[in-house]
Chains A and B, each alone.
Chain A
Amino acid sequence: SQTIHQWPATLVQPVGSPLSLECTVEGTSNPNLYWYRQAAGRGLQLLFYSVGIGQISSEVPQNLSASRPQDRQFILSSKKLLLSDSGFYLCAWSDQVGTEAFFGQGTRLTVV
């Protein structure tokens, strides 16, 4: 069966520090991969998606970037964190048909 792993579960980082969140998927090949963010008091917003290695699409302008160095690995990064980057980050995958997404457990990021 397919599983998705996301780490770390919680993270506290100072303003201006770098960020790297990692997500890996097992049990499937060539998945579509997604990063979502849930800011406090708000709904989920799609940040990035990827349909293949090295292929990244950004949905909203922001301080973050994403990379897909391997088929089942998706990384969310920042060179310098802002207070507004705080939130709950969720990684997800779907198959190539893309009619259903499966989510990781999430990373709660607090920028202080």
Chain B
Amino acid sequence: GNSVTQMEGPVTLSEEAFLTINCTYTATGYPSLFWYVQYPGEGLQLLLKATKADDKGSNKGFEATYRKETTSFHLEKGSVQVSDSAVYFCALSERAGGTSYGKLTFGQGTILTVHP
């Protein structure tokens, strides 16, 4: 079956530090990959996505590149802000067709805290 593994948290950084959250996956097919963010007290929001190998998803200064050869989708940001404090989830979905219908398999989430 499919699975997603994220680096253990929590991660605590100072403002303007560089961020990397590692994510690796196992999938039987050719999945789409996502990063979702959950701010305190809120639901999930899509942060970025990539649908094929070597695609780079980017949004709000965050980036992640779909690496098929290493089955990875690491999240990076060059300079984090206090407002980036949240829980970050890596996820995959199989391509549409059969019974997949875009069901998401999530990693366990990484809590990020950024201090001023």
Q: Closest CB-CB distance, B34 to chain A, in whole Å?
A: 8
Given contacts A104-B43, A105-B42, contact A98 B102 (CB under 8 A): yes
Q: Which of A13-21, A38-46, A61-69, A70-78 contacts B (4 or more CB under 8 A)?
A: A38-46
Judge whether B99 is part of the interface by a CB distance below 8 angstroms. Answer: yes
Nearest-neighbour CB distance to chain A for B24, whole angstroms, equals: 14
Say yes or no for A56: interface residue by CB 8 A criterion: no
| A-side interface size class | 20 to 34
B42, B51, B91, B104 pick with most chain A CB within 10 angstroms: B104
The answer to whether B104 touches A51, judged by C-beta atoms less than 8 angstroms apart, is no
Q: Give A56 to B91 CA distance when docked, in angstroms.
A: 22
The reply to whether A97 and B103 form a contact with Cβ atoms under 8 Å apart is no
- A110 contacts chain B at the CB level, 8 A cutoff: no
Asked, given contacts A43-B108, A44-B106, A105-B42, whether A51 binds B49 with beta carbons under 8 Å apart, the answer is no
Interface string of B80-107 (1 = CB under 8 A from A): 0000000001010101100111111111
Contact check, A99 vs B89: say whether CB atoms are below 8 A apart: no
Judge whether B14 is part of the interface by a CB distance below 8 angstroms.
no
Q: How far is the CB of A38 from chain B (nearest CB, A)?
A: 8
Contacts known (A42-B108, A102-B46); A34 close to B103, Cβ less than 8 A: yes
Within A40-62, the residues touching B (CB, 8 Å) are 42-46, 49, 51, 57, 59
Q: A34-B103, A44-B89 are in contact. List 9 more A-B contacts (CB 8 A).
A: A34-B104, A36-B104, A44-B106, A45-B106, A92-B104, A96-B101, A98-B96, A106-B42, A106-B43
B-side residues, CB < 8 A to A, are 32, 34, 36, 42-46, 49, 51, 89, 91, 93, 95-96, 99-109
List the 3 closest A-B pairs by CB distance, nearest first: A98-B102, A43-B108, A44-B106
Which residues of A line the B interface, CB within 8 A? 6, 32, 34, 36, 42-46, 49, 51, 57, 59, 90, 92, 94, 96-106
A-B contact pairs, 5 of them (CB 8 A): A44-B44, A90-B43, A90-B44, A97-B96, A100-B49
